[in-house]
């Protein structure tokens, strides 16, 4: 089990490097959140933990993840965070027009697509380390992994203002 934990730490650190520059995403939990790398890699970490990987496989995966983290993933994640911040500022700007919101939303989408492309290349390399049987197990377990909700319900956020009496505001 020690080896599986080490792999999870490596993957979490790789993903966390991008999260460190995005405070809003880091608040979603240890794997990021629905807007961060968690959807791309969070469940995969748990599934990889469940596989019986050799020490050589763990080392290869560690090397792959570190290379992507150092080369381009952290920069791309930071760009997503910056785009999301700009979009949030537009959402809360009473002078912003629909076209402004559409433009910043498209920028966020483009940055996310860029992260997805990097994550996809990294995932392909990680999967190439696995045996065929391990890849089948991985895909099966990943397809059965629970899908996380998109954060707390409106008004349930701990910093969300409450109505008198502690109730969440109605929407």
Structure confidence by residue, pLDDT tens digits, 20-41:
333 333 333 333 333 334 344 6
84-121 pLDDT per residue, tens: 999 999 999 999 999 999 999 999 999 999 999 999 99
Confidence of residue 51 (pLDDT cuts 50, 70, 90): very high
3-class DSSP string for 5-35 = HHHHHHHHHHHHHHHCCCHHHHCCCCCCCCC
User: What are the residue boundaries of the structural domains of the chain, listed by start?
Assistant: 2-144
Average pLDDT, the chain: 75
42, pLDDT greater than 70: yes
% pLDDT > 70, the chain: 62
Confidence of residue 142 (pLDDT cuts 50, 70, 90): very high
The more confident residue out of 134 and 8 is: 134
Residues 6+ away with beta carbon under 8 Å from 45:
7, 8, 11, 12, 31
pTM flag (> 0.95)? no
Residue pair 65/14 in contact (Cβ under 8 Å)? The answer is yes
DSSP-assigned states of every residue in 91-129? HT-TT--HHHHHHHHHHHHHHHHHHHHHHHHHHHHHHHH
Q: Which pLDDT belongs to residue 169?
A: 53
């Amino acid at each position: 089990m020690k080896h599986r934990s080490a792999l999870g730490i490596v993957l979490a650190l790789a993903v966390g490097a991008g999260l460190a520059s995005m405070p809003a995403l880091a608040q979603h939990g240890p794997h990021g959140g629905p807007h961060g790398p968690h959807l791309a890699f969070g469940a995969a970490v748990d599934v990889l933990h469940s596989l019986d990987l050799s020490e050589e496989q763990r080392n290869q995966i560690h090397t792959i993840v570190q290379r992507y983290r150092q080369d381009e993933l952290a920069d791309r994640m930071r760009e997503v965070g910056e785009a999301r911040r700009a979009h949030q500022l537009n959402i809360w700007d009473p002078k912003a027009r629909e076209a402004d919101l559409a433009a910043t939303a498209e920028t966020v989408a483009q940055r996310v697509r860029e992260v997805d492309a990097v994550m996809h290349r990294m995932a392909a390399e990680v999967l190439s380390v696995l045996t065929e049987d391990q890849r089948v197990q991985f895909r099966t377990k990943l397809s059965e992994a629970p899908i996380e909700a998109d954060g707390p319900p409106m008004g349930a956020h701990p910093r969300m203002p409450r109505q008198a009496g502690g109730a969440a505001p109605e929407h």
